[in-house]
Every structure is written in structure tokens, then in C-alpha cells.
Chain A
């Protein structure tokens, strides 16, 4: 039963991810006084792309077609780390936060290579910028997760979530506000949202992720788009699971899981709304201000680690 729930969690994350994306763009459209596309549009996009043929630059090697598969696969593995409905996950017990961070890095590394294999200057430009952002995001990402791990005395993601669930909200130390803030900033950089990267832009001056995938088409592009939707949802679920897991099912029964999924939907909806609001009210940062943005995240994460070590 637990195993089935864990598999169910991964499937939910994978299948609901495009919807999350659709809802975000719909909300953004409403805020900007547009009607916006249907929330099911990302599904239609992925399906359409899967039916098309793959256009491959003549100069590209096998890395060009391998990269999207690696990106998609590693994102799937990461999805299996994050508890969604109850305090456990398929790989959440043995898989720890270092593995999670580095699996994401594996996908990103191959995406950068795939971008450079296209042989145009756009790919190199995107990869170079992604290298900057991801390099500087890695340290605060790891340190913020580390501060939670220190407090929970465990490195496994599920262990941390169960520890937080066991805490009374009022006894929950405010030090986690520091870790939470750091992780939110990192999550924005990691998933390429405003103000670090604009997922809807195609302007040379600003694009990062879009520049990397510019050369891709057909099923390869579908895999990349789907993977980035899953990544966004997984990072949101991770934030929820680590910092506000209350409401997850403590036992594996149909009723508890039903309630838990309802609560989880509400939490994700709240995050989605917050993200849409921020994206509509904040301008994208100039690229050389992104290090400042991530510098704030790093300082917060360092303080979080020091304070958890002190308060323990």
C-alpha cells in the first residue's frame, strides 16, 4: 500500500505538472487583463510536439538527442524524492538532499551540452548564462537544505519531512524562515522564473533557458518542456514538504490520502498564486544583477546553517 502510494505520488507530480504551468500562465494573463489560453494548453503543446518530427542540425552529434532524454529522466528521478501526500517517497528514505541537488545538476549539465551542440551562437549564449546562474545557485541550495538536515539530524528528504511534521507549529524555530527564504530565492533561479529568467521571452538580451532550447523541436522539445514543468512542480512540492508539511497523511488509508491530496492542492494553489503575483509585479533583473540576487540567497543560507548549528 505504501509502495503504491509512493508510485502514485510520482505519477501525480508528473501528470499534474503541465497543469500547474497552465494555471500560472492563466492567472498571469488575468492579472494583465488578458483572457489567456486554457489551463490545459501545456498538455496540448506536449502532445502536439510528440507527434511532430525531430529536426536535428546536420552538425550535431548524438549528445544533441541524448540531452533531452537525460534531462527528463533525471527530473523524474528527482520527483521520486519528494513526499507529496504522506511523509515518505519512493526514493525519499535512502535518497538524500545532496543526491537531489546533484541529480538536477546532471540534467542541467546535459542541457547545456545539448545547447552547445546546435552550433549556433544562441545555444552557447544560453549555456553560458545558465552556467553562471546554476553555479551560483548550487551553494545556497545545498546550504539551505543542509540547515534543515542539521535540525532534523538526518540527510534523507523523507526523514526531514517527518521531523518537521512532528514539530508543533508554535515551537517551530524561526531560523527556518531564513532557510525558507534562501530556498525560495534559489527555487526561482533554479526553475528559471522572473526575476532571474523569463520563461516567455525570446529576446537575445534576456533569454537563458529559451536560448538553450532554441534549436530543439518535436519530441525532444516536448521532453524538455515537460521536464521543466515537472521541475517547477517538484521544487514547489519540496518547499511545501520541508517547511509546511502539516496536513499530510500520517497513515496510509484512502480517506487520509484523500484529505491530504486536497490540502496539498490548496497549498500548491497558494504557491502558484504567489508566483503569478510576483511575476506580474517584478521586472526581470539585468543578468549581472543575478549574482547579487543569489548573493542574498547565499548570505541567508549561511546564516541559516550557523543559527541551526548554534540553536541545536
Chain B
């Protein structure tokens, strides 16, 4: 039954592009691709939900027919990530079904409906594959299709440069992932074999596998300093695609790391855990600090993806430290926290990117300086955006809090370790997480306060209107999920506990983890009753002008701007930004009234300057040197072939 449903899901997904190409000639067939895609995603969600909650497994093996080992299978971990992919992309597609026709026409629209299902299918392939071949096949396709989706929005020089960086980094990452798989040779035909052979590997080889997987998946996940592509690629994609890339695609990298570190390798030395923990702490802090400095909404959100991947890595790192110290119960808690944060981030980050799409749809800009007052013009979009902001900040009663709380509790549990370094490092990591949370709160108070509250800062924002119904419905569904998981986390926690028990044998979720599920509904009820009571209690209300110190003429330009809001924090953390400022003053006559003043402040992160620039320069120099081999003379090329032949013969004889 499950197998049949899964197969029909795959077939339906793959048929969407064909249907698009056939149906675009008829006017009535326009809605067909979206409907078919949503229908197949519903089936996929159902399959994944059954697999996740009931723990059913099945396998699709076409190795016999296909001459290479290609098999898909589903265990609880796959089912969880499949659920994440399908359930989050369903509202995104619902949103797109109205967004895409409004913004794209002709060939570009068809290309979107062709590439979107293929992109989704490639992600499904990644999380359900059970052979390295299938995994890498899906992994590469995922990169290519997402790059294709970015190209649809245009290919100016700047955009091509950004896409180039995206592709180069993704392929470097993929090379590391392939390397990690190759180290399992000759026992690398399927995952089960790899699991068995990993136990027999030498510690050095295991470490090599771990490091390659860490680097490869880290590139996809966007941990600092491998995050460079994120703020470049996400802002230039169509908003629903950004939602899928940031909310869903990054999670496949987490899936890969979990699969390698917990499923294949089992456990390792505790420095693996500290490495992941450190990467998480640095990514989290720098991600949110860079985000605070931004006022382009989508770039800001892209940096927040770096931050949230950092939080997920904090959970994963502490789980690795716990497994290294043979305390699988606490490892289960930390792993649950990380996985739940994957789901939560998928939900609220997709919602935020869809909100950005709705804003650009209504106000035609994503620059916070041009927005403002949108809450009154777009009540529903504003409200769901507020819910998403509360979730990403990790405030109680919203889903982000639950996973951050679990991470905090795992850090506290770290103090129970007999190993002294774990007992000190893990509790201190809680301080980092708290700082990240505080910075995120400041950042989203800025985003929502400047973007949605106050008065409109531009005519466009003042004329904005609420978006269409399917777009509202898509965002509303995601916002509902944020609140439901935030108040009743028990719905997912129990099954996640079963999942971690599968990965870490003998690790039931500790009872402390469920104390939150008891207290949150009560708090929610109390808050609802009290706020409802206050709101119901009709108070005399009078509309007035904003107080302007008794002077007339307060206008929207006098409001606090986004850079002004973040200035104190940027000043305190000025070492992170290293802004290069130039101030040019053309003095007038008299000198007190300058003719013109121009001020320019450019921020390049130190990573670009000190890490990537020398590397790129070295590669370019090497390439220039190698160019000497290319003379263009045909006889020289023949000489190369001849020399290669001789060398091969000698190698065969004496090596």
C-alpha cells in the first residue's frame, strides 16, 4: 500500500513537467500543473506522515533492471525529511499557483512549472535514496535545478556571477561528499553495506569520512565560512524558490550529515562534536550579526538561514559530544532538538520568504527603507509575518522556541557529564545560543517594526494592497503550523523520540523533554484568555496624530530607519563588520556650506578578503601557468598523447 502510494507520488511529480508542456496551449489548462503538483504533494505528505508516525519501512529497488545500483527506501529518518519537504512545499506551491502567473508569463512561466517539480523530486530522491549512486544523482540534480530556477528571473552579468559562485561552491561541496562515499569502497554499493563496513574501518579513515562529510554538507548547509553563496543566491531567486531553497533544500544537507555521523559512523571521538559545535556557534553569531546590518529583506533572511543552520549545528554538535561520552539519552535530547529545529526552520523561513514575495508583489520593493505601514494595508500578510518573526526569534508559544528550549536543556544536561571539558563547554554554549537569540530578536524587531509598522516610507508602500487568496492561504497554513507546534510540541516530539531511538540504540527521550508539553498549553490558554479579556473589554479609544513635541508636520521620513535602528548593535560589534567608509566633501565658499557631501560605506566580510581572495588568486595564477600547455600547435598536442602513452606503458610495467 505504502509502496504503491510512494511510487504513484513519484510518477505524479515527474508527470507535472510533461503535463505543463502539453497543456500550456489551452487557456483552461493553466491551473493544471499547480493542481497536479499539489495533489502529488498531498500523497507524498501522507506517505511520509505514515512512515514517520508509524515507522513503516519499504524499499524500491531497480538495481536489477538498471545495471547500476539504484534503490530508494524509507526509514524513520527519511520519512521525517520527506515529511518536511512535502508538507512545507505544499503551501509554497499553493502560494506560487497565484504568484507565478502574476509575475511570469510565456516561456518563463512554463519553465518554472517544469523545473519546480523536478527540483522537488530531486530533493525527495536525496532523502529517500539508499544507495550512494541514487544519493549523488539526486544531490547533483538538486543543485542544477535550483540554479535553473534562479536563472529564470534573468541573467544579467551580476546575476550570472552570483550563480557562478553558487555552482562552483556546490560542486566543490559535492566533490567532498563524493569523496566521503568513495572512502567506503569497496563496500559502497548500498547504505546497509556501508553501515556494516564503517564499524570495521580504522579510526583514521573514519575521521577522514567525517571531515569530508562535514565539509561537503557544510557547504550546502551554508556554515561560516562556506556560507558565501547563500546571501548571493537566495535574494535573486523568485520568492517561492527562495522559500524552498532556504527552508527545504538546506535541510537535505543536515539530513546528509545526520545520515553519515549518526547512522553510518555511529559515534566518534568527542572532538568531532566540538568541531560541529564550534561551527554552529560561529555560524549562528556571524549569521545574525551580518543579518542585522542588512536592509534588503531577502539578503537579511538569507543570512538568518546561516544563523539557524548554526543553531541546528549546535544541537548536532552537542549530540555528538554526548554519544562520544556514551550518554545516549542526552544525545537523543540534543538530536531531537536539532531535527525539530530543522522542521521549525523549514516552516517559518519558508513563511518569511513567502512574506517577502507578498511584499514585493504588493509594494514592488524589498528594501526596508521603502516599506512601512504595511500591517494596516495588508492585515493578513502582516499578521502571519509577525507570527513568523516571533517563531524565528524563538519566543515562547511559537515553534522556534520549542527546539531552542530543547537545545538549552541538552546544554544544561552537559554539566552532568563526568568528562570535565564537556561539562564546561556545553553549558557555556548556552550563552552563545542566548546571545544569538537576543540578536535575532533585535533584528526581527527591526524587520517587522520598520517594514510593517509606523507610516509608509514610500508611495508604493502606501498604495500596497492585500495579496490574492491562494497566496494568503499558503502563508496562513504555514503560520498555523508555527503556532500549533509552538503550543502543542508533543505532536511531533513523541515520534521524533522514536526516530532518535532508531538512530541511537537504547536512547529513549528523557522525561524532562516533555515537561514543556505540559506547561505550554496552559500558558497559551492563560495568555489567550487574558489578552482576549483585555481586548473584549471595550475601552474608549480616540484616534490622534502622533505626538511631535507640539510641533506640526511629523512626516514618515522622521521615523527611525533600519540602519538607525541597528546602529547601536553595529557599533558594539563593529569588529565584525569592518566597514570601509569614504567621505568626500567638496568645500564651498564659505567653507561652512559644502557644495556636496558624498558618503559611501562598503562592507566586505573578512572571509572574502582573507580566505577566498587568496585562494581564487592562486587558482587563477595556476590556470594562467597551465595555459602555456595550450599552444594551438597540433604537433604539440600529438606529442602530449604520445607522451601519455609512453608514460602509461611504463606505469603498467614497473608500478
Residues of A within 8 A of B (CB): 53-66, 69-70, 72-74, 76-77, 91, 94-96, 98-99, 101-103, 105-106, 108-109, 112-113, 115-121, 123-125, 127-129, 131-132, 134-143, 146-147, 149-150, 153, 155-156, 214-215, 218-219, 223, 287-288, 291, 298, 301-302, 305-306, 308-310, 312
A128 touches B393 (CB 8 A): no
Known contacts A70-B531, A117-B449; A132 and B568 CB within 8 A of each other: yes
Q: Which of A117, A129, A214, A312 contacts B547 (CB 8 A)?
A: A214
- Closest residue of chain A to B415 (Cβ to Cβ) is A150
B599 at the A interface (CB under 8 A): no
A-B contact pairs, 21 of them (CB 8 A): A54-B542, A56-B541, A63-B453, A65-B535, A73-B531, A91-B519, A102-B396, A105-B393, A106-B395, A108-B441, A109-B393, A120-B554, A120-B559, A124-B559, A127-B449, A127-B565, A135-B439, A143-B428, A146-B430, A301-B431, A310-B420
Given A77-B523, A134-B438, A155-B512, decide whether A142 and B431 contact each other with a Cβ distance below 8 A: yes
The answer, yes or no, to whether B581 is at the interface (CB within 8 Å) is: no
Which residues does chain A contribute within 8 Å of B572, judged by CB atoms? 132, 136, 288, 291
**Cβ-closest 4 pairs across A and B:** A124-B560, A116-B449, A53-B540, A135-B438
- List of A residues within 8 angstroms of B527 by Cβ: 70, 73-74, 77
Closest Cβ–Cβ distance, residue B87 to chain A (whole Å) = 26
Asked if B567 is at the interface (CB within 8 A of a chain A CB), the reply is: yes
Check: B530 CB closer than 8 A to any chain A CB.
yes
Q: Report which of B394, B435, B454, B539 forms a contact with A116, defined as CB distance below 8 A.
A: B454
Known A-B contacts A53-B541, A146-B427, A150-B412; A120 and B558 likewise in contact (beta carbons under 8 Å)? yes
A58 touches B428 (CB 8 A): no
Given contacts A109-B395, A132-B572, contact A59 B518 (CB under 8 A): no
User: Known contacts being A56-B542, A58-B543, A150-B415, is A134 close to B441, with CB within 8 Å?
Assistant: yes
Please name 18 further chain A to chain B contacts, defined as beta carbons within 8 Å, in addition to the given A124-B559, A128-B565, A309-B415, sorted by A numbering.
A58-B546, A94-B519, A95-B519, A102-B396, A102-B437, A105-B441, A119-B455, A119-B546, A119-B556, A120-B559, A124-B564, A135-B439, A136-B435, A139-B432, A141-B434, A146-B411, A301-B431, A310-B420
Residues on the B chain within 8 Å of A141, using CB: 434
A59's nearest neighbour on chain B, judged by CB, is B455
B58 lies within 8 A of chain A by Cβ: no
Most buried by B among A59, A69, A109, A121: A59
In the bound complex, do residue A98 and residue B560 qualify as a contact, i.e. CB atoms below 8 Å apart? no
CA–CA, A298 to B434, complex, Å? 12
Q: Which residues of A contact B554 (CB under 8 A)?
A: 119-120
Q: Measured between alpha carbons, how far is A127 from B562 in the docked complex, in Å? A: 12
**Do residues B559 and A99 form an inter-chain contact, with CB atoms below 8 A?**
no
Expressed in whole angstroms, the minimum distance between the Cβ of A274 and any Cβ of chain B is 27
Q: Which of B388-439 contact A (CB under 8 A)?
A: 390, 393-397, 401, 405, 408-409, 411-412, 415-416, 420, 423-424, 427-428, 430-432, 434-435, 437-439
B362 within 8 Å of A by Cβ?
no
Q: B446 an interface residue at 8 Å Cβ cutoff?
A: yes
- Distance in angstroms from A210 CB to nearest chain B CB is 13
- Determine if B548 is an interface residue (Cβ-Cβ < 8 Å): yes
* Nearest CB in chain A: distance from B39 CB, A: 37
Q: How far is the CA of A142 from the CA of B412 in the complex (A)?
A: 11
Q: Does B450 contact A (CB under 8 A)?
A: yes
Selected from A59, A96, A101, A214, the residue in CB contact (under 8 A) with B373 is A59
CA distance A295 to B544 in the complex (A): 42
Q: Nearest-CB distance from A48 to chain B (Å)?
A: 14
In the bound complex, residues from chain B placing their C-beta under 8 Å from that of A102 are 394-396, 401, 405, 437
- Do residues A120 and B431 form an inter-chain contact, with CB atoms below 8 A? no
How many angstroms between the C-alpha atoms of A247 and B435 in the bound complex?
A: 35
Chain A positions within 8 Å of B593 at CB level: none
Interface assignment of B566: CB less than 8 Å from any CB of chain A: yes
Contact of B454 with A106 in the complex, beta carbons under 8 Å? no
Q: Is B2 an interface residue (CB 8 A)?
A: no
Across the interface, do A106 and B397 meet the contact criterion of CB distance under 8 Å? yes
Q: Which of chain B's residues has its CB closest to A58's CB?
A: B543
Residue ranges of B at the interface with A (Cβ–Cβ < 8 Å): 373, 375-376, 379, 382, 386, 390, 393-397, 401, 405, 408-409, 411-412, 415-416, 420, 423-424, 427-428, 430-432, 434-435, 437-439, 441-442, 444-446, 448-450, 452-455, 512, 515-516, 518-519, 522-523, 526-527, 530-531, 534-535, 539-548, 554, 556, 558-560, 564-569, 571-572
Q: Is the CB of B434 within 8 A of A142?
A: yes
What CA separation (Å) do A106 and B523 show in the bound complex?
13
Q: Are B546 and A305 in contact (CB under 8 A)?
A: no
Let me know if B386 and A54 touch, CB within 8 A.
no
Once A94-B519, A131-B569, A143-B434 are accepted as A-B contacts, the answer to whether A306 and B412 lie under 8 Å apart by CB is no
Are B395 and A105 in contact, with the CB atoms below 8 A? Answer: yes
Q: Establish whether residues A127 and B445, one from each chain, have CB atoms under 8 Å apart when the complex forms.
A: yes
A287's partner among B382, B449, B568 (CB-CB below 8 A) is B568
- Could you tell me the distance between the alpha carbons of A94 and B517 in the complex, rounded to whole angstroms? 10
CB distance B386 to A132 under 8 Å? no
- Please determine whether A106 and B396 come into contact, CB atoms closer than 8 angstroms: yes
> Chain B contacts of A58 at CB under 8 A?
543-546
Most buried by B among A109, A125, A155, A309: A309
CA distance A120 to B550 in the complex (A): 12
Query: What separation, in Å, do the CA atoms of A1 and B459 have in the docked complex?
Result: 62
Q: Decide: B530 and A73 in contact? CB cutoff 8 A.
A: yes
Q: Which residue of A lies closest to B395 (CB)?
A: A106
Q: With contacts A146-B430, A305-B427 known, is A136 near B565, CB below 8 A?
A: no
Least Cβ distance of B375 to chain A in Å?
4
Provide the residues of chain B in CB contact with A63, threshold 8 Å.
Answer: 375, 386, 453
Given A102-B395, A134-B438, A53 contacting B539 (CB threshold 8 A): yes
User: Inside 8 A of B420's CB, which chain A residues have their CB?
Assistant: 309-310
Write the chain A residue with the least CB distance to B543. Answer: A58
Separation of A115 and B454 alpha carbons in the complex (Å): 9
Chain B's closest residue to A223 (CB) is B534
Whole-angstrom CA separation of A36 from B349 in the bound complex = 52
A47→B488 CA distance, assembly (Å): 37
Tell me the minimal C-beta distance from A32 to chain B in angstroms: 28
Q: Quick one: given A61-B376, A101-B434, A150-B412, are A113 and B448 in contact (CB under 8 Å)?
A: yes
Across the interface, do B409 and A98 meet the contact criterion of CB distance under 8 Å? yes
Contact between chains at B566 and A128 (CB < 8 Å) = yes
Q: Across the interface, which residues of A come within 8 angstroms of B449, CB to CB?
A: 112-113, 115-117, 124, 127
Within the complex, what minimum Cβ distance (angstroms) separates A57 from chain B? 4
Whether the Cβ atoms of B427 and A113 lie closer than 8 Å is no
Inter-subunit contact B442/A135 (CB<8 Å): yes
Q: Which of A61, A112, A288, A309 contacts B427 (CB 8 A)?
A: A309
Q: Is the CB of A73 within 8 A of B518?
A: no
- Shortest Cβ distance from A109 into B: residue: B441
How far is the CB of B562 from the nearest CB of chain A, in Å? 10
For residue B421, which residue of chain A has the nearest CB?
A309
Task: Output the least CB separation between B576 and chain A (Å).
Answer: 14
What is the bound-complex CA distance between A312 and B450, given in angstroms? 47
